[in-house]
């Protein structure tokens, strides 16, 4: 008994159409993937034993720019005053609201008129910020820092 090739073509077309319809019928779910954002910060710090700092910055995340303000305290050996412009990345962000929060860091640095600084911060939501850039001023620091970021 010879097989009808037109029948196999019809079965193949039906299978392709069913797969296509199934693919279109499954609802798409929002992505919960963690994304990274570019961070730019300008901060002014001063201190003697206990240091403090304030600044502002922007987070570029998923095609939008979000301004934020930053405040911080450091405890340990701190002496001097600096102004820094830092650039870097924030990672493990699920939604933009995760960026705001309290970050902690342990670090140190030295600047005499000018220098380079860096920071590695992590908040309670798991967001990590890595920053680096030039700073101007005079500072000697070896401390524990706590930084609060608030979206504007």
Question: Is 74 in contact with 84 (CB distance < 8 Å)?
Answer: no
Summarised one tens digit per residue, pLDDT across range 27-65 is: 444 444 567 899 999 988 888 767 888 999 999 999 999
The residue to which tokens 């319809």 are assigned: 21
DSSP notation for 29-48:
PPP---EEEEEEEEEEEEEE
Q: Tell me if residue 86 falls in helix, strand or coil.
A: strand
Rounded to the nearest 10°, the torsion over CA 84, 88, 92, 98 is 40
The neighbour count for residue 79, using CB atoms within 10 Å, is 13
Question: Is 92 in contact with 34 (CB distance < 8 Å)?
Answer: yes
Look at residue 51 in the predicted model and tell me its pLDDT.
81
Summarised one tens digit per residue, pLDDT across range 86-116 is: 999 999 999 999 999 999 876 666 666 677 7
Global pTM reads 0.70
List CB contacts of 35: < 8 A, sequence separation 6 or more. Answer: 61, 62, 93, 94
Summarised one tens digit per residue, pLDDT across range 7-22 is: 777 777 777 666 555 5
Exposed, middle or buried, 147 (CB in 10 Å: 0-12/13-18/19+)? buried
Higher pLDDT, 23 or 86: 86
């Amino acid at each position: 008994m010879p097989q009808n090739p037109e029948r196999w073509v019809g079965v193949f077309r039906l299978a392709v159409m069913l797969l296509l319809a199934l693919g279109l019928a499954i609802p798409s779910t929002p992505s919960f993937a963690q994304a990274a954002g570019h961070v730019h910060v300008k901060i002014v710090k001063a201190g003697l034993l206990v240091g403090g700092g304030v600044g502002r910055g922007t987070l570029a995340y998923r095609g939008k720019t979000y301004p934020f303000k930053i405040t911080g305290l450091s405890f340990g050996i701190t002496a001097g005053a600096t102004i820094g412009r830092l650039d870097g990345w924030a990672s493990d962000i699920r939604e933009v609201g995760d960026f705001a929060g309290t970050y902690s860091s342990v670090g140190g640095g030295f600047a005499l008129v000018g220098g380079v600084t860096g920071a590695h911060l992590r908040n309670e939501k798991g967001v990590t910020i890595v920053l680096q850039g030039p700073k101007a001023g005079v500072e000697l620091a070896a401390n524990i820092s706590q930084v609060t970021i608030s979206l504007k």
